[in-house]
Amino acid sequence: MSLVENPLVQEPTVHSLIREIDYGTPLSKAEKSVTLSIDGKQISVPEGTSIMRAAMEAGIEIPKLCATDMLDAFGSCRLCLVEIEGRAGTPASCTTPVAEGMAVCTKNERLDRLRKGVMELYVSDHPVDSLDRVRYADVDLLATAAEVGLEEVRYGFDGARHRNPGIDESNPYFTFDPAKCIVCSRCVRACEEVQGTFALTISGRGFDSIVAAGMDEKFIESECVSCGACVQACPTGSLIEKTVIEKGKPEWSAITTCAYCGVGCAFKAEMRGDEVVRMVPYKDGKANRGHSCVKGRFAWGYANHRERILKPMLREKITEPWREVSWDEAIAHTASEFKRIQTKYGRGSIGGITSSRCTNEETFLVQKLVRAAFGNNNVDTCARVCHSPTGYGLKTTFGTSAGTQDFDSVEHADVIVVLGANPTDGHPVFASRMKKRLRQGAKLIVIDPRRIDLVHSPHVEAAYHLPLLPGTNVAILTAMAHVVVTEGLVNEKFVRERCDWDEFSDWAAVVSQPRNSPEEVAKISSVPAETIRGAARLYATGGNAAFYYGLGVTEHSQGSTAVMAIANLAMATGNIGRPGVGVNPLRGQNNVQGSCDMGSFPHELSGYRHISDDATRAMFEALWGRPLDEEPGLRIPNMLDAAVDGSFKALYIQGEDILQSDPDTHHVAAGLAAMECVVVQDLFLNETANYAHVFLPGSTFLEKDGTFTNAERRIQPVRKVMEPRNGFGDWEITCLISEAMGFSMHYNHPSEIMDEIARLTPTFAGVSFEKLDRLGSIQWPCNEKAPEGTPVMHINGFVRGKGKFVITDYVATDERTGPRFPLLLTTGRILSQYNVGAQTRRTANVLWHQEDRLEIHPHDAEQRGIRDGDWVKLASRAGETSLRALITERVAPGVVYTTFHHPDTQANVVTTEYSDWATNCPEYKVTAVQVSPSNGPTEWQRQYSELVRKSRRVAATVEAAE
Ligand code: SF4
Ligand code: SF4
Ligand code: FES
């Protein structure tokens, strides 16, 4: 058969698809450079560069199959042969490093003949009857065949000798056809080097060799985490996305940003017409460097889920059924209700909640609507319930409410402390980068009540795991400080130069008191003193040491105190202001950093400037043409309290589900039920919408332009790849409400909103859509001093001037265990699901997590007569719920744990009203509970299931009407 007849080879190139150059091997970071000649061209490259990469950089492409620049060179396919003057043979260019004065020939008759011969063997082992399967994909194998000029294959295409156990379709998102595998090992290496899961191996030898998942299992049954790195790496289409097979070859693409977590992975949205065919991680994405997790890469189907609401709806009372209305009627009704309520109950009787799922531009507009059109400062955001203590703690100590580093910084860390975070589930792409550094030899300290995966995973072993009792973070951090101070491990030079010495001295005097010693703290934290001492010594003396922390730090009554305790440790040891160190909050939602930056808190305008500052307010007033209230407004919990008290009557909620995400569900429900007009703007009828009078359908990240800001302060573009199915981007809906309320808010495009943000916010002064297009992303501060942004902060001094040591005395939470509630509940996320699950539950990701389970230690389970899988009642003084038990030693005796992704569990029914003293961030991570056997769901859970069935019927009716 002639290869030129092959439909794949004949497929015309579609030029509007973004194609990234594959340099074949990773970039060498050596400082010394080497000059050589390749095909007569002189080129200088860093020492350690492969000949293949040097050639690519000189514009000379050498055929390759087993090499890709995401992976270390492997040298198995023998296609990239070259000749080197003065050396015998034909070495592989991917595994041969450059040398000074080297003269390389990449193409001559002999090399062509050798390559053709190798290629012919590969192609003959690639059965043509399955070429249809890869017709639409970019298949390097066939492109390379064309590149080496192979037109005829003497041995046929049947691949008859190849071991072929049949196609594995078990994964919901991709398939694996061993018949097309050339055993290049790219998938295996991607799983190891990029993802760090080590789920794939090559089993067997010679023609019997084959890629095997786990212990030769189906992909779905193995440890594979479905990150898709193997699919991306496969050059033959043996591993391929099911959507590519179903929908066909993508025709065009745009770079955009994942709408799930705060890692902020950049993707190419590859499209066919206005349909997404696949999401491919973008190599130039500076947060993810070409990697992704199962959510961003595969779980985007919710955009077309049949339960998505596309038409506005109204109802007079929350007990009535919804009535579909036009956009005009919905907006007019919303505005007139807001105005009526303000006339009757006063200007402060209404407010708004911005969304960390929406863009910066959309968030900015919601707070503008509240401040300028509503005329008060009753605006808040979901960061209230997650990282508000980070904002407070880091602003107080360093002067800026944000993490200090970029993600690249982890590549320079020698000691990594993970505190109250579970990166492999919560921030998986960053976890992969962290694990890579750990495999290179960095040391790991995990401080967490659970034995999270990082404590012990393939080729990663924590040097110390501190399984503290929930609620004792501050005690542990202070005990670590005690060791640093009393054992003479303070970096005095750094502290004297960079920090306030008097404040340091006061702090040092307090932490060195015997009550803060590891021996004393061991009694309250359950962590042995020697473990605390060892961890503290390693942190202080192990080289570049970096803290990465999550909600296990912030969601406590001492959340802000713990953030400041981390900052104190970093300053005392000089671990601030250079790559490899720092204090790094792992932010939860895609744009939680951005929503805080944009002025979503009731006391702050954009850029964290206090509303009471006359000069700042004057700037906004001049541009917006409205006087602004100088008094901070209500936080979410205060709005709900005021609603129950009868003084707060209406709320505009953009893209949040506060009924599910906020603590003490019964209180949230009571607050919402007491209001006269609740407006919910979302993709789906979420739980909060059960209490809404107006439902405004929202748009997905695929349907609008804008920006998200990730955990490293990186502002990244979100690009519209399809028209909004609901008719409007969320920013347009806010503008419509504002106009209807009589406050003019008109923009032709979100870029104009960013221009306004830049005019009003010094840390964003240099940001524009044009610059984002040019640079790809920008880390704020971006202004005259740093026109291209700031990867690492506080390099030559703290933003606030001198670093501030704050005394962080440990105060035990009021939430105590006792005879009635003897166990401590803590909560967290799982890899496949996202927060309240509104999106991920509407994708095939449910396959991995169909229900929330309660993790309980075997000892506690046995005492209560609970077996694995039994229904159990989880009760606290706030409420109770039922779920099934998972017996595991991941949790210590006395501690239980659950996720909160499923509304029919609603873990927040049991969480209490306690919150962080400084920011009101709820104490989700410590609830005293009792666990007992139960017969199944509670009464409210049964009622809830009925409600869900009803709302599904509404969605189905709407769909049928369309
Ligand atoms: S499945 Fe693809 S990437 Fe993996 S060894 Fe086979 S051809 Fe290579
Ligand atoms: S969910 Fe987070 S880690 Fe996963 S692809 Fe999206 S941004 Fe990346
Ligand atoms: S690309 Fe160099 S040996 Fe395969």
* Residue pLDDT, tens place only, 374-389: 999 999 997 776 777 8
- Ligand 2 centroid to residue 751 C-alpha, Å: 25
Query: Rounded to whole angstroms, how far apart are CA atoms 695 and 313?
Result: 5
- Quote the pLDDT of residue 26: 95
Strand residues in 191-292 grouped as ranges (E): 200-203, 210-213, 239-241, 252-257, 266-272, 275-281
- Quote the pLDDT of residue 962: 47
**Ligand 3 atom at shortest distance from the alpha carbon of 77:** 4
Is it the case that residue 531 has pLDDT exceeding 90? Answer: yes
- Quote the pLDDT of residue 155: 66
β-strands 545-549, 415-419: how paired?
parallel
For 383, the token pair is 């960061």
Q: Ligand nearest 262 Cα, by number?
A: 2
Is it the case that residue 229 has pLDDT exceeding 90? Answer: yes
- Ligand 1 centroid to residue 185 C-alpha, Å: 5
Give the contacts of 246 (CB within 8 A, at least 6 positions apart).
Answer: none
Banded pLDDT at 715 (limits 50, 70, 90): very high
- Lowest-confidence pick of 86-100, 296-310, 325-339, 729-743: 296-310
SS3 assignment for 115-184: HHHHHHHHHHCCCHHHHHHHCCCCCHHHHHHHHCCCCECCCCCCCCCCCCCCCECCCCCEEECHHHCCCC
- Lowest-confidence pick of 39-53, 255-269, 806-820: 806-820
- Quote the pLDDT of residue 317: 93
Q: Are 557 and 550 in contact (CB under 8 A)?
A: no
pLDDT in tens, 177-200: 888 888 899 999 999 999 999 999
pLDDT in tens, 885-904: 999 998 989 999 988 777 67
- Ligand 2 centroid to residue 238 C-alpha, Å: 25
189 lines ligand 1 (CB under 6 A): no
Banded pLDDT at 443 (limits 50, 70, 90): very high
Q: Ligand nearest 425 Cα, by number?
A: 2
Q: Is 249 in a helix, a strand, or coil? A: coil
238 lines ligand 1 (CB under 6 A): yes
- Ligand 1 centroid to residue 237 C-alpha, Å: 8
Q: Kindly report the average pLDDT of the chain as a whole number.
A: 89
Percentage with pLDDT > 70 across the chain: 92
Q: Ligand nearest 167 Cα, by number?
A: 1
Q: Residue whose CA is closest, atom 3 of ligand 3? A: 75
The stretch 554-567 carries a mean pLDDT of 89
pLDDT in tens, 539-556: 999 999 999 999 888 877
> Which mutation among 280, 283, 429 tests ligand 2's pocket best, with the greatest number of atoms within 8 A of CB?
429
- Quote the pLDDT of residue 10: 37
Pick the residue with more confidence: 939 or 104? 104
Percentage with pLDDT > 90 across the chain: 68
- Quote the pLDDT of residue 937: 75
Query: Rounded to whole angstroms, how far apart are CA atoms 868 and 327?
Result: 50
Is it the case that residue 12 has pLDDT exceeding 50? Answer: no
Is it the case that residue 948 has pLDDT exceeding 90? Answer: no
> Which mutation among 56, 61, 64 tests ligand 3's pocket best, with the greatest number of atoms within 8 A of CB?
64
**Ligand 3 atom at shortest distance from the alpha carbon of 81:** 2
Banded pLDDT at 918 (limits 50, 70, 90): confident
pLDDT in tens, 81-129: 999 999 999 999 999 999 999 999 999 999 999 998 888 888 777 665 4
Q: Ligand nearest 141 Cα, by number?
A: 1
- Quote the pLDDT of residue 502: 95
The stretch 152-175 carries a mean pLDDT of 76
- Quote the pLDDT of residue 139: 65
Is it the case that residue 14 has pLDDT exceeding 50? Answer: no
Query: Rounded to whole angstroms, how far apart are CA atoms 110 and 104?
Result: 14
Q: Ligand nearest 295 Cα, by number?
A: 2
- Quote the pLDDT of residue 402: 82
- Ligand 2 centroid to residue 267 C-alpha, Å: 10
Is it the case that residue 944 has pLDDT exceeding 80? Answer: no
Banded pLDDT at 452 (limits 50, 70, 90): very high
Per the rule left: phi > 0, alpha: psi between -120 and 50, beta: everything else, 801 is: left
183 lines ligand 1 (CB under 6 A): yes
pLDDT in tens, 669-714: 999 999 999 999 999 998 899 999 999 999 999 999 999 999 999 9
Query: Rounded to whole angstroms, how far apart are CA atoms 380 and 161?
Result: 65
pLDDT in tens, 501-522: 999 999 999 999 999 999 999 9
**Ligand 2 atom at shortest distance from the alpha carbon of 267:** 5
Is it the case that residue 319 has pLDDT exceeding 70? Answer: yes
Give the contacts of 488 (CB within 8 A, at least 6 positions apart).
Answer: none
Amino acid at 665: T
Query: Rounded to whole angstroms, how far apart are CA atoms 885 and 862?
Result: 12
- Ligand 1 centroid to residue 250 C-alpha, Å: 22
Banded pLDDT at 131 (limits 50, 70, 90): very low
Neighbour tally for 484: CB within 10 Å: 24
Give the residue from 493, 496, 497 showing the smallest Cα distance to 505: 496
- Lowest-confidence pick of 366-380, 511-525, 576-590: 576-590
Q: Are 100 and 86 in contact (CB under 8 A)?
A: no
